[in-house]
Chains A and B, each alone.
Chain A
Amino acid sequence: MNIVKHGIKNIASVSAETSGAQWVKRFPGSRSTADLANPFRGRVETFIGAIRAAGAIVVINGTLRDPRRAYLMHWSWRIVRAHVDPQSIPSMNGVCINWSHSDRSGNYSRVASIAGASEMVKAFGMERLGVAPSLTSRHIIGSAIDMSVSWQGNLLIVDSHGNTVEIKTPPWSGMNLQLHRVGESYGVIKYNRRGRDEPHWSDNGT
């Protein structure tokens, strides 16, 4: 696990707020290209500019994601589904959460601790998720964007070399292979590993 990279330390929190559903809305993801890391940001903005100039519609669904959100998702899921001891969860800089709840007598309560994590799993929409969410992604380092692209008819789009590319074949969406080649010319690479991830573009195709 890559927990050290994100500043997670094994420090017990004393005055931290206990886990629960209230944590889920605290570290929302961004939909702004301004939050992407350079040079990817500039490449994305130029590519999107070219798509829009060609008359296509671009809707951005996600850019930068907060590692603290990934931390909360990962460890709440692990407590509930992988039966990890709530008292053993590493802390993370910037997240003053206490995974370990106490009962009225001030003693550790495993039941209450799991209930707090369960609230989070439910609020994150992960009740049916069969594996632990990842602590890392291209979004977390500002090198990925989720966007939907659509147009009607032929699309005349300029690539980064200044060549006008005419896209005449379907699909009329971000899954169009010619559009992928145009994206590549700008350094914006469509997801190219196994599985279908329609809105996902990044700096390296992952």
Chain B
Amino acid sequence: MKTLVIVPILLLFSCPSIFSAEKLPNDVRKFIAQRDACDHFRGELPEPEEAERMQEVTGQIEKRCRGTDRRLRLLKKKYGSNADVKKLLSVYEEQIEPRDNQR
């Protein structure tokens, strides 16, 4: 019985990220999900002769990455005084799109 009480309490203190993720503003949470997927596919570019895979990956990149530079800038501005959000956003590259292509 004692264990049943202690374990959840220990989990509460040992996994703060689980709880802080729930508190994240919606726009930040959505951005992180999109940008993480974008960053995944940016690392998946195959050898040039793998045409089909290249098409799959570039299609996902186009879908997931476009506009994220601008969104990152706006979120950093919006949550400039929120240290937790600032820290989470600081891990992302600020410019992955060509400057003349940003929306």
Residues on A lying within 8 angstroms of B by beta carbon are: 1, 24, 28-29, 61-62, 70, 73, 81-83, 123-126, 128-134, 136-140, 146, 191, 193-200, 206
Contacts and interface: CB of A to CB of B under 8 A. Distances in A.
Of listed A28, A126, A132, A198, residue having the most chain B CB within 10 A: A132
Query: How large, as a class, is the contact surface on chain B?
Result: 35 or more
Given A61-B53, A130-B61, A197 B99 contact: no
A126 B45 contact: yes
Contacts of A206: 36, 40
Given A82-B99, A131-B97, A194 B36 contact: yes
A137 to B, nearest CB: 3
Contacts of A138: 43
Of listed B45, B64, B93, residue having the most chain A CB within 10 A: B45
A24 B46 CA distance: 12
Interface string B7-40: 0000000000000000000000000011011111
A43 B57 CA distance: 26
A128 B58 contact: yes
Contacts, number: 93
B34 to A, nearest CB: 6
B101 A132 contact: no
A185 to B, nearest CB: 23
Nearest to A73: B45
Closest 9 CB pairs of A and B: A137-B43, A125-B48, A194-B37, A134-B42, A134-B43, A131-B65, A131-B96, A81-B98, A195-B37
20 contacts: A61-B50, A61-B53, A126-B45, A129-B45, A130-B61, A130-B66, A130-B98, A130-B101, A131-B61, A132-B95, A132-B96, A132-B97, A134-B43, A140-B43, A193-B36, A193-B37, A195-B37, A195-B60, A195-B63, A198-B56
B50 A24 contact: no
A137 B40 contact: yes
A123 B47 CA distance: 10
A193 B48 CA distance: 25
A70 B39 CA distance: 13
A19 B62 CA distance: 27
A75 to B, nearest CB: 13
Nearest to B93: A1
B39 A197 contact: no
Contacts of A128: 58
Contacts of A195: 37, 40-41, 60, 63-64
B84 interface: no
A197 B54 contact: no
